[in-house]
Chains A and B, each alone.
Chain A
Amino acid sequence: MRGGEMDAYFCLDGVSKRYGGLAVVDAVTVEVRRGEVFSILGPSGCGKTTLLRMAAGFAEPDGGRIVLEGEDITRVPPNRRRINTIFQNYALFPHMTVWENIAFGLKVAGKGRAEIASSVEAMLELIDLREHAKKKPGAISGGQKQRVAIARALVNRPAVLLLDEPLAALDLKLRQRMLLELDRIHDEVGTTFIYVTHDQSEAMSLSDRIAVMNEGRIEQVGSPVEIYEAPRSSFVAAFIGDTNFICGEVSGFPDKDYCELEVAGLGRFLAYNDKKVPRGESVTLSLRPEKLFLERERGAREGVMNEIRGRVEEIIYLGSQTRYWVRCGEYRLGVLMQHGRFLLDQRPVTWGEEVWVRWHADDGYMLQSYTEADEALLTVSDVESGEAAEEGHDAD
């Protein structure tokens, strides 16, 4: 047995789907390991729901294969796949009680009465809804419906559980509770979860690995930390958390690990050169706001620290932290300062002040690809465009 085959418990292998002439899913390859929580994260319209429907069997791919435990299931209908889905609106059967909803899959599979009863009871125990077993879905709350949907899927002991934006219909508090609940359930049953969402914080907190999807393609696959700290493209950097983009040209190599960037109007900066970019090439750095520091005095310019002079344009105080927008030439950098100490005793930086923005050269991550349109995803680059991006999110 080769390691590679062991890894791919469930595999979407070059899967495509076209509607009209448009490739909604474009040769996507995803390998999911047994027992992991694998998230597919992307904005609405990126093709993630279509990908999920193909995994479940509701849509047939135009190209590629779907493989579960080495068996090609591309043409197997949904009712004969060992895959169950939790639908966005739960899709509980309104004419059946909670108990009957959970029992549905087992009944259809022709299981014995005693086995059904004990399995359903065990599931009711797992989701802690025993006292609501005789109620119809119309009589229970959104969070409870969600749990019934989970139980109804898991009772069939699926090889893979697909979760389609399962928390989208819940309010914020409930969403956070359900996230913990999902995490607990996953720990208890150990089923392979494929979690589709547009909410990066859900994906980050729940997943072992995340595939970031954009315009029908996978941009990057990796652990939450990898995705956040080492984004491959400007899309990934901007979609997951906030960041600043700085574009420059490689102008020199002070030592073997670092290169010097010439940024128009701002000067020269050091950047960690893990991509081994040659001299003269343009590169874009992603600078996370929390990795930038504001100082009144210029620091001793140690070898690997970068500094830019700027003027504070905007401040949003958030309690535990403060967001600053600092104008540095044509750039407007977002900075996030965490407040570790009692703030009233200090003299925090305020509007109109001239400050130094500092960051460690290792913290500016060099992107492999940069698309200017991705700037629109940022909330820090500009207050106005930031709001527009926010509205865009609400709309989906």
Chain B
Amino acid sequence: MMPISGQEGRGRRGEWLLTLPSLVWLIVFFLVPTLLVMAIAFKPAEINGGIGQGWTLETWRRLLLPTYPAIIWRTIWLSFLCTVICIVMALPVGYWLARLPSRWRTWALMAIILPFWTNFLIRIFAWKSLLHPEGWIKEGLVWLGLIESQANLLYNSGAILLVLVYTYLPFAILPIYAAAEKFDFGLMDAARDLGASRFLAFRRVFLPGIWRGLWTAVLVVLIPAFGSYAIPDLVGGPTSEMIGNKIAQRVFTERNLPHASGLSAVLALIVLLPVLVSLVARMKEERAGASRKEGRS
């Protein structure tokens, strides 16, 4: 055992050396700036747009004003709803893709990635014209009698949600598909053989089987959705702003950097939460895996 653990020690040192460059990179260009942003939130603002001397809680006091909790709350529920809808839609698609014969699969994957060939902003503008009071979606729905002619499809939370889902759906499909592709569908047969209905087999065997892909999908949709700026800016109205819009306003319009920093800090803290949850879950699983290996040797 002894020489093996010695080798392992050397291997670990090598691992550290290899990780060092990227670690330094992350600390210098990511961790330090984040901490700086958070620190600025405790500085006073100057009229000319600069950052004042000394420390103050003025920013945080203003964040408690009634407009902010409403915006933060809207950001949270829009992002969550967008994530839920994306996952619910991506699950059957990922399942279907993984079961598709491989020659069709390539084309289907292409179709899913196709929207990325067009610039993100152009696609949002396209939605803007589609949902416009004289756009054909609006007129079509009116013609079908589903909505009234004075109803507004644009510049509200519904429009934001629609475009959020549209934008992030491929990001949800891809990790779910990647996990489903590695999933052993023989297990579904086994579940059916043991008396489970299709739905039960899906829920009790397939979902746990692609657990990691599912979590990845949640994170890659939820986190960017929290930080949305362009989408609510273009298709949202003044009553449906998200944190991202407020941060931009504070920086560009008011030139109040401490205030923008405070909002950014709040955003970062909200985003950190699901990441921490997944991190803890993953560590727990790895610890279980490690003890399993010990049990075997």
Contact = CB atoms under 8 A, between A and B. Distances in A.
Contacts of A104: 191, 194, 196, 204
Interface in A48-98: 56-58, 77-80, 83-85, 87, 89, 91-95
Nearest to B293: A139
Interface residues of A, number: 28
Contacts of A109: 195
A87 B190 contact: yes
A84 B292 contact: no
Interface centre among B190, B196, B204, by most A CB within 10 Å?
Answer: B190
B189 A156 contact: no
B274 interface: no
B194 A139 contact: no
A252 to B, nearest CB: 59
Nearest to A53: B189
A375 to B, nearest CB: 37
Contacts, number: 69
Interface residues of B, number: 21
A95 B285 CA distance: 11
B197 A79 contact: yes
Interface string B179-207: 00000101101111111110010001100
B208 interface: yes
A135 interface: yes
Contact of B187 (A56, A80, A93, A135): A93
Nearest to A141: B296
Contacts of B194: 79, 84, 104-105, 108, 152-153, 156
Contacts of B196: 79, 104, 108
Given A91-B186, A93-B205, A95-B208, A85 B193 contact: yes
A183 to B, nearest CB: 23
Interface of A: 56-58, 77-80, 83-85, 87, 89, 91-95, 104-105, 108-109, 135-136, 138-139, 152-153, 156
Closest 10 CB pairs of A and B: A91-B190, A105-B194, A95-B208, A139-B292, A108-B195, A78-B192, A91-B186, A108-B196, A85-B193, A79-B195
Given A93-B208, A105-B194, A152-B194, 19 more contacts: A56-B193, A78-B189, A79-B194, A79-B195, A79-B197, A87-B186, A89-B184, A89-B186, A91-B187, A91-B190, A92-B190, A95-B208, A104-B191, A104-B204, A108-B191, A108-B200, A136-B292, A139-B292, A153-B193
Interface of B: 184, 186-187, 189-197, 200, 204-205, 208-209, 211, 292, 295-296
21 contacts: A77-B192, A78-B192, A79-B193, A83-B193, A85-B189, A85-B190, A87-B186, A89-B186, A91-B187, A91-B190, A93-B191, A93-B205, A93-B208, A94-B209, A95-B211, A104-B204, A105-B195, A108-B191, A108-B195, A136-B292, A153-B193
